[in-house]
Amino acid sequence: MRFIKDGIKDLHVLLLVLVVMLAGCGRKTAEIKKDPVTEDQSVLTVTADNRKPEESADLTQEAKDMELVMTIDGIEVSVVWEKNESVDAIRKLAASGGLEINMSMYGGFEQVGSIGQSIPRNDEQTAAKAGDIVLYSGNQIVVFYGSNSWAYTRLGRITDKTEQELAEMLGNGNTVLRFETGSER
């Protein structure tokens, strides 16, 4: 009988450790409740989200405010952004009223435009292809509708346009890029 009681104590300790670990994740909570039949504290309940609805709404608004949106000649394109200092710097520039860049065709495979200032960069030799958005020399945005290999800092990738659609958007004259954050829209 003592062996069973020690086993139940060990189980409770294990459950308590699990509760602490899950609660520490911030998005899940766990609590031990008494089993209504045996009155034993061995029922573990895990809840998906411990935030109050208004806290979740605040976090959703904050995420939306930090969203970086890019348009090409007024057409919004879907972009998967890199997580780096360069994208953070563009997001900050865009948050203060939007960032508009006049782009020029170059080399028959890209559009290039000056940001107007230098931002952090981490250039690496890169084989860029249609849809890639990169930073060149720390102060120029490049959007590819063809391919090239050079030392760039990756910023993101357009995901909702084919190579042919990008060539039609970018390969027929100069364009205007606009960056906005969710708070600007």
pLDDT in tens, 51-104: 455 544 443 444 444 699 999 999 999 999 999 999 999 999 999 899 999 999
Query: Looking at the structure, do residues 45 and 77 belong to the same domain, yes or no?
Result: no
User: In this structure, is residue 90 part of a structural domain?
Assistant: yes
In this predicted structure, what is the pLDDT of residue 98? 93
Query: Looking at the structure, do residues 41 and 67 belong to the same domain, yes or no?
Result: no
Distance between CA atoms of residues 20 and 16, nearest Å: 6
User: In this structure, is residue 6 part of a structural domain?
Assistant: yes
Query: Looking at the structure, do residues 18 and 73 belong to the same domain, yes or no?
Result: no
In this predicted structure, what is the pLDDT of residue 96? 87
- Amino acid in the structure at residue 131: G
Query: Looking at the structure, do residues 113 and 33 belong to the same domain, yes or no?
Result: no
User: In this structure, is residue 164 part of a structural domain?
Assistant: yes
Last residue of a domain, one of 17, 32, 52: 52
Residue 60 φ/ψ, nearest 5 degrees = -65, -45
Query: Looking at the structure, do residues 152 and 79 belong to the same domain, yes or no?
Result: yes
Distance between CA atoms of residues 50 and 47, nearest Å: 7
User: In this structure, is residue 57 part of a structural domain?
Assistant: no
pLDDT in tens, 134-177: 999 999 999 999 999 999 999 999 999 999 999 999 999 999 99
Residue 100 φ/ψ, nearest 5 degrees = -115, 130
User: In this structure, is residue 7 part of a structural domain?
Assistant: yes
In this predicted structure, what is the pLDDT of residue 124? 97
44 neighbors 32 (Cβ within 8 angstroms): yes
In this predicted structure, what is the pLDDT of residue 15? 41
Query: Looking at the structure, do residues 21 and 69 belong to the same domain, yes or no?
Result: no
Query: Looking at the structure, do residues 47 and 76 belong to the same domain, yes or no?
Result: no
Distance between CA atoms of residues 111 and 104, nearest Å: 5
Query: Looking at the structure, do residues 119 and 178 belong to the same domain, yes or no?
Result: yes
- As for how many domains the chain has, the answer is 2
In this predicted structure, what is the pLDDT of residue 182? 78
Query: Looking at the structure, do residues 45 and 69 belong to the same domain, yes or no?
Result: no
Q: What would the mean pLDDT of 6-15 be, rounded to a whole number?
A: 49
Query: Looking at the structure, do residues 74 and 161 belong to the same domain, yes or no?
Result: yes
In this predicted structure, what is the pLDDT of residue 52? 52
Of 159, 126, 122, 158, nearest in space to 137 by CA: 122
User: In this structure, is residue 70 part of a structural domain?
Assistant: yes
User: In this structure, is residue 77 part of a structural domain?
Assistant: yes
H-assigned helices in the chain: 2-24, 53-66, 85-95, 163-170
The pTM assigned to this predicted structure is 0.66
Domain span at residue 37 reads 2-52
pLDDT-based confidence at residue 50 (cuts at 50, 70, 90): low
pLDDT in tens, 35-44: 444 455 544 4
Query: Looking at the structure, do residues 160 and 112 belong to the same domain, yes or no?
Result: yes
Q: What count of Cα atoms within 13 Å lies in the side-chain half-sphere of residue 16? A: 7
User: In this structure, is residue 149 part of a structural domain?
Assistant: yes
pLDDT in tens, 104-135: 999 999 999 999 999 999 999 999 999 999 99
Query: Looking at the structure, do residues 178 and 104 belong to the same domain, yes or no?
Result: yes
In this predicted structure, what is the pLDDT of residue 160? 97
Q: In CATH, what number is assigned to the domain containing residue 171?
A: 2.40.100.20
